[in-house]
Amino acid sequence: MQNSHKGILIVISGFSGSGKGTVIHELMKNPRYALSISATTRKPRVGEEEGVHYFFKSKQEFQSMIEHKELLEWAIFCDNYYGTPRQYVEEQLFNGKDVILEIEVQGALQIKEIFPECVLVFLTPPSFDILRQRLEQRKTENASIIEKRLYRAKEELEFMYDYDYIVINDILSETIINVKNIIQAEHCKTARNQIFIEKLKGE
């Protein structure tokens, strides 16, 4: 029997190149999880599709989403806007899904304010050398953008203290198990099982 049927909001953050995308891709093989698709003003990378990887917006469109309170949170990361559309997250949580947000640190803290019961997971490579190698190998950004993202990664270090869990992404298969176990353990938390306890008391 699965503990706590209520959906949990899980925020996964990590330095650019930490392997968040790969880990989340694996998680999404389980229909119990729903992945929120963010809006961004960043230009699509080769192979990225509208509505699959992001909802690609102009700055004006993004501003309008902010004004109309369509975003749960938003932040500027390396000169581009990123934000989480509100409606999908609320609907999926209501339907009992575990909702995954793959967002950066400023957004994660905003989410913690709105949903204190959410779970913040920070994914990190074993070292900054490995991070640089991964960013260079994936060839999706040019050298100056890689430098910007590495610089930002160093700034993000300070935010790691605010996370509930730190997962070192060294061996991918182990990382995925670790993240799944964290979510599983969260479902077993006493605070998330109050209704079940009350039910037992009434028997």
| Long-range Cβ contacts of 137-146 (<8 Å, 24+ apart) | 138/17, 140/45, 140/46, 145/78
The contact set with ligand 5GP (CB under 6 A) reads 16, 38, 42, 73, 75, 77, 82-84, 102-104, 106-107
Query: Cβ 48 to ligand 5GP, closest distance in Å?
Result: 8
Nearer to ligand 5GP, 75 or 118 (CB): 75
Query: Cβ 200 to ligand 5GP, closest distance in Å?
Result: 39
Query: Cβ 36 to ligand 5GP, closest distance in Å?
Result: 7
CA 176 to chain centre: 14
Nearer to ligand 5GP, 73 or 98 (CB): 73
Nearer to ligand 5GP, 75 or 119 (CB): 75
Nearer to ligand 5GP, 19 or 83 (CB): 83
CA 147 to chain centre: 23
Supply 91's token pair.
Answer: 């609907």
Query: Cβ 124 to ligand 5GP, closest distance in Å?
Result: 12
20: helix, coil or strand?
A: helix
DSSP 35-101: EPPPEE-SPPPTT--BTTTBEE--HHHHHHHHHTT-EEEEEEETTEEEEEEHHHHHHHHHTTPEEEE
Nearer to ligand 5GP, 100 or 183 (CB): 100
Query: Cβ 126 to ligand 5GP, closest distance in Å?
Result: 18
